[in-house]
């Protein structure tokens, strides 16, 4: 058979002929903007030609520092299609970290939303800063106006870099993952399968996950491939506004971290969101409580499991077909991390408590220019250590037990911080809980729990310990429980355990 | 990212861990046999080890001459996974042609159903004949019993040959197409997308299309990848038996040529086939009449369009999402050949009346060892000429107008034999019609129509011409109309126009 490189430009070129009239919708400052797919791809061609004129060549890095917008989508299309490398920057991390990441990646150009311009640090590698929206100097619209609508996307090898993304770095410096065209095309095919996201032309897709967060979980390319309508929410983040957008746009599929769905589930007057076929909760574990609450208000949720290093989807918590809807096993499967997608190989290394190892075309081979970290994470025989502790059942469903570094080793035995957190959160007066290990002279390590109570609750440590006595082994029950008003999160919405460990060190060494 | 070869064995290895308990069902001589996926793959490993012991090595050809059965499925898994090349032989073609194909492919082993053994010719390249079912000499079950259950499928380059298939040859000798692992893996991903077949674990899939017909349209590999249950019908072919099987197995997805669906649509007492989510009609155009009849009896049909040279699916007649269900445009889209799947490029060459040209990873690069035919069909810049005349609308939907060789050139202008056939078949007293060109002194060529009337009809040529006056341009109306009891079909169910042209040459040169 013919052997043609798998390239992201193929999706754009096909969309121009078969989905030309499909719409893409973008919100900016509360205003709704609409373009066709044909216009969007023409703008991407113009943008690519202007970038080419600025000296950008295949392999060069082009950064973005922007919200989920039509312009950001144009960059998602233009930059990889011209052979350059798209590098979306996390807008929520510290200036110093942003500067580090830009320079480490060697970004030559950055596109920045005008309202984010103040937060973008100077960096040595940057030659051009392009403003999206009003601003001085080079701007996005001028590059498009000056560009060639007929710019041809080049044919490049399929293992060329298409994009890169840095992990949010809960430990150490951020680490970069470089996605190839081959990997991203295969990921797009895989994630659209019926038992994964099941995306189709009839879908209206709302990526609430930021476009700097692991390629917005692949949704821009997936939507383009199947011809679904994309709705890009800009900076919209209040639950009521998101719910209103879902209702107004008749969104069928949306993706966000659990916190967003939690906010929406708490709304007093939820608008009509019955257009939703499915929503994905990812980036942090979905709790049984939240899933049940979403079921009750008619938002069909599914857990997405992945990581920056796998492009990023690994699987979804879709119950095996043999399970009866509503059964305990079915519910447990929905709370699982699912089966790994086809073409991804899995090993569970029991010598380190059940660490998940991965291998496949959508799995990173190394971190970018990070030789020291690489030897820890990537084995010589072609596997990536994920740092996740999992179990696997007879249906192949993975269940995340913990992170290797978050396990608590007490008296030589492992305590899963995640299982303990779930047991604590099962109490009706607990909103959130996070468990970290603290050093202990006698036991080596002991768990310390940080707990956020529901409004008005007077729950005490002893009440909670009494509750836990029914839920976990006696030696798992934390001696130390700290009630806090909130738990710090990382820039992508995960519990910031690095910070909690610091807090635990500062705290008094008494149980309260 | 990691770069691992795309191999069919990946589907089997994943299925062993995540779909081990799924069932596969096979009918043989009216008996129902059931195995699990785990058993099936273990049997495939045993078979591969025995073939290895017989001297079969990567690249060697292994032929099959068999119905759709559990054993045939085992060969579909074992042969490509061990690096050898599966070559399913068309059991309906002439002995001489079968012999030609075996020798041209260089088949070293053939697996044959015991009841087909008499129809299998001797051939010079064959070293072993293995019987499926009772018989003398080597047999399938002994190879499995003697095989190693832990045989490891080797890692081979992804462009290695996985299977080959010969076109049924409506002109000249059969021509072989060699499918690579890469092509077949990509085809499997593409065909399972929601807007293509949309296959999922919950499906129960019945391939009525023979396994020798272009990889059974990809359904064995697709079902294995998504974990769907396969039902293999053996030699079942009577419409009432097929309908009974659909009802008994609660089949959700079935694929067959239109003739099969026509037979089922004519049943007086159709059993409960409400389990069907969708059926594919492919291999020959689906008529509006049949589609409407199937709609009426609750069998949701979709047209599949493909060819041996594209592995074989190119697209399905699924209406664009913007069309209102039931509208004229929607119905017309269902009767179209659909949009080409992602990753397949399309050109329409208007210099030859609108010939469809294809390029992509699922498109043949050449016919196997056929240098002369190749220069006609494959361009130097990487396109395959399909010989199909198509139109393409603003949604990218292809509509098959004719085959280049079936167009009628009358007075320098083209008449589409397919459009003319459809116009004739739109008459309520016409069951089937086929149009071929006959030489004409004045006009160069004129259309000659072969027509099968419905039972009891006394429709005359003049009646039909009067009907056509409302349907087509006056100069399209055939001078010559031949009423025949039936129209000869090729071994895969298409009108045998080669034979009809012969009949037209014999016939009287008068209009009746």
pLDDT for A372: 76
Name the residue of chain B whose CA is nearest to A202's CA: B321
Does residue A478 fall inside a structural domain? yes
Last residue of a domain, one of B294, B316, B334: B334
Tell whether B191 and B280 lie within a shared domain: yes
Per-residue pLDDT of B70-121, as tens digits, reads 999 999 999 999 999 999 999 988 899 999 999 999 999 999 999 999 999 9
Does residue A415 fall inside a structural domain? yes
- A434 confidence band (pLDDT: 50, 70, 90): very high
Structure tokens at B50: 């025995």
Tell whether A117 and A136 lie within a shared domain: yes
- Least Cα distance to A148 among A76, A38, A48, A58 occurs for A48
CB contact under 8 A, A10 and B359: no
What stretches of B325-442 show up as alpha helix (H) in DSSP?
328-334, 371-377, 417-425
Tell whether B87 and B207 lie within a shared domain: yes
Does residue A351 fall inside a structural domain? yes
Which residues of chain B make contact with A185, given a CB cutoff of 8 A? 343
Does residue A15 fall inside a structural domain? no
Which residues of chain A make contact with B193, given a CB cutoff of 8 A? 189, 192-193, 200, 226
Tell whether A53 and A196 lie within a shared domain: yes
What percent of chain B is predicted at pLDDT more than 70? 98
- A446 touches A438 (CB < 8 A): yes
Tell whether A329 and A359 lie within a shared domain: no
pLDDT for A82: 98
Question: What are the distances in angstroms from CA B341 to CA A36, B196, B260?
Answer: 21, 8, 25
Which residues of chain A make contact with B199, given a CB cutoff of 8 A? 194
Min distance A359 CA to chain B CA atoms (Å): 7
Tell whether B190 and B73 lie within a shared domain: yes
- Alpha-carbon gap, residue A169 to A181, rounded angstroms: 25
Name the E strands within A95-172: 107-113, 128-132, 161-166
Min distance B116 CA to chain A CA atoms (Å): 31
B169-194 average pLDDT score: 91
Q: Is the pLDDT of residue A440 over 90?
A: no
- Alpha-carbon gap, residue B343 to A221, rounded angstroms: 13
Count how many residues are written for chain B: 512
- Least Cα distance to B403 among B291, B495, B472 occurs for B495
What stretches of A82-163 show up as alpha helix (H) in DSSP?
95-105, 140-146
Long-range contacts of B99-104 (CB under 8 A, 24+ apart): B99/B123, B100/B173, B100/B174, B101/B166, B101/B174, B101/B176, B102/B63, B102/B126, B104/B166, B104/B174, B104/B176, B104/B368, B104/B369
- A80 confidence band (pLDDT: 50, 70, 90): very high
Long-range contacts of A261-265 (CB under 8 A, 24+ apart): A261/A286, A261/A290, A261/A294, A261/A299, A261/A301, A262/A290, A263/A238, A263/A239, A264/A239, A264/A299, A265/A290, A265/A293, A265/A294, A265/A297, A265/A299
Which residue of B21, B195, B395 is in closest CB contact with A200? Answer: B195
A433: β partners: A451
Name the residue of chain B whose CA is nearest to A20's CA: B395
CATH of the domain at A362: 2.30.38.10
- Least Cα distance to B299 among B242, B227, B222, B338 occurs for B242
Q: Choose from A178-187, B129-138, B421-430 the range with maximum mean pLDDT.
A: A178-187
Q: Is B409 a catalytic residue?
A: yes
- Least Cα distance to B341 among A163, A192, A181 occurs for A192
- Least Cα distance to A153 among A79, A219, A62, A218 occurs for A79
Does residue B375 fall inside a structural domain? no
Last residue of a domain, one of B334, B358, B383: B334
Which residue of A2, A202, A364 is in closest CB contact with B321? Answer: A202
A32-61 average pLDDT score: 98
Q: Is the pLDDT of residue B309 over 90?
A: yes
A22-34 average pLDDT score: 95
**Three-state secondary structure call for residue B12:** helix
Q: Is the pLDDT of residue B59 over 90?
A: yes
Q: Mean pLDDT for chain A?
A: 93
pLDDT for B240: 97
Structural domain for B445, as ranges: 407-506
CATH of the domain at B470: 3.30.300.30
pLDDT for B351: 80
A181 touches chain B (CB under 8 A): no
Does residue B102 fall inside a structural domain? yes
Please pick, among B40, B129, B167, B308, the residue that the annotation labels catalytic.
Answer: B167
Does residue B382 fall inside a structural domain? no
Per-residue pLDDT of A184-225, as tens digits, reads 999 999 999 999 999 999 999 999 999 999 899 999 999 999
pLDDT for A212: 94
- A180 touches A158 (CB < 8 A): yes
Please give the span between the terminal C-alpha atoms of chain B, in angstroms, as a whole number: 70
Chain A with chain B: Cβ pairs closer than 8 A: 158
Tell whether A397 and A412 lie within a shared domain: no
What percent of chain B is predicted at pLDDT more than 90? 79
CB contact under 8 A, B18 and A396: yes
Residue with tokens 């001489």: B96
Name the E strands within B66-150: 85-88, 107-113, 128-132
Structure tokens at A237: 């983040």
pLDDT for B277: 98
- Alpha-carbon gap, residue B28 to B65, rounded angstroms: 15
Which residues of chain B make contact with A202, given a CB cutoff of 8 A? 321
Last residue of a domain, one of A334, A352, A375: A334
- Alpha-carbon gap, residue B487 to B42, rounded angstroms: 45
- A494 confidence band (pLDDT: 50, 70, 90): confident
Residue with tokens 């012991």: B53
pLDDT for B368: 95
Question: What are the distances in angstroms from CA B328 to CA A21, B196, B319?
Answer: 19, 22, 11
Residues near A102 by beta carbon (within 8 Å), at least 6 away in sequence = A63, A89, A110, A121, A123, A125, A126
Question: What are the distances in angstroms from CA B435 to CA B463, B480, B500, B504?
Answer: 17, 10, 8, 10
- A416 confidence band (pLDDT: 50, 70, 90): confident
A233-243 average pLDDT score: 96
- B54 confidence band (pLDDT: 50, 70, 90): very high
Q: Is the pLDDT of residue A427 over 80?
A: yes
Catalytically active residues of A are: 167, 309, 409, 414
Name the residue of chain A whose CA is nearest to B395's CA: A18
Q: What is the 3-state secondary structure (H, E, C) of B27-55?
A: EECCEEEEEEHHHHHHHHHHHHHHHHHCC
Does residue B271 fall inside a structural domain? yes
Tell whether B441 and B325 lie within a shared domain: no
pLDDT for A503: 84
pLDDT for B317: 97
Measured over the CA atoms of residue A130, residue A135, residue A138 and residue A143, the dihedral's sign is: positive
Q: Is the pLDDT of residue A53 over 60?
A: yes
CB contact under 8 A, A11 and B342: yes
B349-378 average pLDDT score: 90
B351-361 average pLDDT score: 91
Q: Which residue has the higher pLDDT, A407 or B334?
A: B334
Q: Beginning with the edge strand found earlier in the chain, give each strand of the sheet holding B313-316 in spatial order.
A: B31-36, B23-28, B229-232, B204-207, B253-256, B278-281, B301-306, B313-316
Please pick, among B42, B278, B309, B421, the residue that the annotation labels catalytic.
Answer: B309
Window 8-47 of A, Cβ < 8 Å to B: 10-11, 13-14, 17-21
Min distance A326 CA to chain B CA atoms (Å): 16
Tell whether A313 and A363 lie within a shared domain: no
Which residue of B198, B361, B395 is in closest CB contact with A4? Answer: B361
Which residue of B195, B199, B227 is in closest CB contact with A226? Answer: B195
How many Å separate Cα A480 from the centre of its chain? 32
Question: What are the distances in angstroms from CA B212 to CA A86, B112, B180?
Answer: 45, 12, 17
A326-336 average pLDDT score: 97
How many Å separate Cα B500 from the centre of its chain? 22
Please pick, among B241, B259, B409, B489, the residue that the annotation labels catalytic.
Answer: B409
pLDDT for A283: 87
- Least Cα distance to B23 among B249, B313, B328, B273 occurs for B249
B138 touches chain A (CB under 8 A): no
CATH of the domain at B96: 3.40.50.12780
Min distance B88 CA to chain A CA atoms (Å): 18
B227 touches chain A (CB under 8 A): yes
Q: What's the count of helices (H) and strands (E) in chain A, helices before strands?
A: 15, 23
- A135 confidence band (pLDDT: 50, 70, 90): confident
- B480 confidence band (pLDDT: 50, 70, 90): very high
Q: Which of A5-14, A426-435, B147-156 has the lowest mean pLDDT?
A: A426-435
- Alpha-carbon gap, residue B281 to B303, rounded angstroms: 5
- Least Cα distance to B321 among A439, A229, A448, A457 occurs for A229
Which residue of B19, B200, B365 is in closest CB contact with A2? Answer: B365
| A348-A354-A355-A356 Cα dihedral, nearest 10 degrees | 40
pLDDT for B493: 74
What percent of chain A is predicted at pLDDT more than 70? 98
Tell whether A399 and A411 lie within a shared domain: no
Name the residue of chain A whose CA is nearest to B397's CA: A18
pLDDT for B508: 47
What percent of chain A is predicted at pLDDT more than 90? 79
Name the residue of chain A whose CA is nearest to B311's CA: A1
A355-364 average pLDDT score: 97
Number of domains making up chain A? 3
- Least Cα distance to B143 among B69, B66, B52, B46 occurs for B46
Tell whether A436 and A394 lie within a shared domain: no
- Alpha-carbon gap, residue B264 to B293, rounded angstroms: 10
- B241 touches B215 (CB < 8 A): no
Tell whether A239 and A386 lie within a shared domain: no
Q: Is the pLDDT of residue B425 over 60?
A: yes
């Amino acid at each position: 058979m013919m052997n043609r490189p798998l390239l992201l430009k193929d999706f754009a070129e096909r969309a121009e002929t078969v989905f030309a009239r499909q719409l893409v919708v973008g919100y900016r400052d509360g205003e709704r903007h609409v373009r066709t797919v044909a216009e969007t791809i023409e703008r991407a061609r113009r943008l690519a030609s202007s970038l080419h004129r600025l000296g950008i060549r295949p392999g060069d890095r082009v950064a973005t520092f922007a919200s989920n917008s039509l312009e950001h989508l144009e960059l998602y299309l233009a930059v990889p299609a011209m052979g350059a490398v798209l590098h979306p920057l996390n807008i929520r991390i510290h200036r110093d970290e942003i500067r580090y990441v830009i320079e480490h990646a060697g970004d030559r150009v950055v596109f920045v939303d005008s309202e984010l311009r103040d937060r973008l640090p100077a960096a040595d590698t940057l030659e051009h800063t392009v403003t999206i929206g009003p601003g001085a100097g080079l701007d996005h619209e001028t590059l498009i106006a000056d560009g060639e609508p007929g710019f041809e996307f080049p044919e490049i090898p399929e293992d060329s870099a298409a994009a890169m993304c840095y992990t949010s770095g809960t430990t150490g410096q951020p680490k970069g993952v470089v996605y190839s065209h081959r990997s991203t095309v295969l990921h797009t095919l895989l994630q659209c399968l019926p038992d994964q996201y099941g995306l189709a032309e009839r879908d209206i897709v709302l990526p609430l996950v930021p476009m700097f967060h692991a390629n917005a979980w692949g949704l821009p390319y997936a939507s383009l491939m199947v011809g679904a309508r994309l709705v890009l929410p800009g900076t919209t983040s209040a639950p009521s506004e998101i719910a209103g957008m879902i209702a107004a746009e008749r969104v069928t599929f949306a993706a966000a971290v659990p916190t967003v769905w939690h906010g929406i589930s708490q709304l007093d007057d939820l608008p009509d969101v019955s257009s939703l076929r499915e929503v994905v909760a990812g980036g942090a574990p979905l709790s049984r409580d939240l899933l049940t609450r979403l079921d009750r208000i008619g938002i069909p949720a599914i857990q997405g499991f992945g990581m920056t290093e796998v492009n990023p989807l690994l699987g979804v918590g879709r119950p095996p077909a043999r399970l009866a809807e509503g059964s305990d096993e079915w519910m447990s499967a929905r709370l699982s991390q699912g089966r790994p997608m086809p073409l991804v190989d899995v090993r569970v290394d029991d010598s380190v408590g059940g660490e998940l190892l991965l291998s496949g075309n959508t799995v990173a081979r190394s971190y970018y220019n990070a030789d020291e970290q690489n030897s820890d994470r990537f084995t010589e025989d072609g596997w990536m250590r994920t740092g996740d502790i999992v179990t696997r059942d007879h249906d192949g469903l993975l269940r995340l037990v913990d992170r290797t570094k978050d396990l608590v080793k007490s008296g030589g035995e492992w305590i899963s911080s995640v299982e303990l957190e779930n047991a604590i959160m099962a109490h009706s007066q607990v909103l959130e809980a996070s468990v970290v290990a603290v050093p202990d002279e006698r036991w080596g390590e002991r768990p310390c729990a940080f707990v956020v109570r529901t409004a008005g609750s007077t729950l005490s440590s002893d009440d909670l310990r009494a509750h836990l006595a029914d839920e976990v082994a006696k030696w798992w029950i934390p001696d130390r429980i700290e009630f806090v008003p909130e738990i710090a999160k990382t820039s992508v919405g995960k519990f910031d355990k690095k910070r909690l460990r610091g807090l635990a060190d500062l705290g008094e060494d008494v149980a309260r």
